[in-house]
Amino acid sequence: MKDSTKKEIYSWIKSIAFALMIVFICRQFLFEPSTVFGESMAPTFEDKDKVMVNKITKIKRFDIIVFDAPDVDDSYYIKRVIGLPGDQIEMKNDVLYINDEEMEEPYLTENKEDSPFPMLTENFSLEDKTGKSKVPEDMLFVMGDNRLVSRDSRAFGFIPLDSVVGEVQFRYYPLQHIGIPE
């Protein structure tokens, strides 16, 4: 084999190895693809939507996150952050109150309009659901956008911050819904 051919092959191997290393680092520490399973976040996300999760973001209220399912082995859930550490949460007459302040939830409008029931979310307080009056340190309270079918913190309680994979930043499938979620 010619020297120039060997150099060309070696150059390609180095380039491919470097690219794979970059992909590994990005996936391990920065971004991770994920697939939505189920209807708990409808209509924001539908079953089989594919999303990109940012692993290095600071989690804020109303962010959509992916986290280790607390009640199912080797699974992830996708939900919306409702309560941060120190928050008091109450739901009265289908209105969310955080720290006694009424919160708007525009992502629920479509579900409320389509619901055959007078209320999308049952009345509850944080203490009713968890036995705690405030979200503990290093914990989050999460709920799905499709409140009638979502299995979330109302059922399994708080989730630890260290179980969070990251924040959903981008939907890349289906193509007609590609973009940044609201």
Catalytic residues: 40, 79
> Are the C-beta atoms of 25 and 4 separated by less than 8 Å?
no
The sheet carrying 101-103 orders its strands as: 101-103, 95-98, 89-92, 124-125
- Residue 97 pairs with which residues in a beta bridge? 90, 102
Q: Cα(36)–Cα(57) distance, rounded to whole angstroms?
A: 20
Cβ contacts of 131 within 8 Å, gap of 6 or more? none
Q: Would you tell me how many other CB atoms lie within 10 Å of the CB of residue 178?
A: 11
